[in-house]
Structure 1
Amino acid sequence: MKHTEENPIKKCGQKIMAIHDTMDVLNGKWKVSIIACLCFTPMRYSELLKEVHGISGKMLSRELKDLEMNGLIKRNVLDTQPVIVKYEITEYGASLKDLTEVIADWGLKHRERIINS
Structure 2
Amino acid sequence: MKDDDSSQGTTTIAPDVLLTIAQLTTLNVDGVSRLSHVQTPVNQLLKRTQKREGVLIEVVDDVVYADIYVILKSEVNVRDVSHNIQREISRAISEMVGMSVGRVNIHIEDIDYPAEAET
Q: TM-score, normalised by structure 1?
A: 0.26
Larger Rg: 1
Give the structure with the larger helix fraction. 1
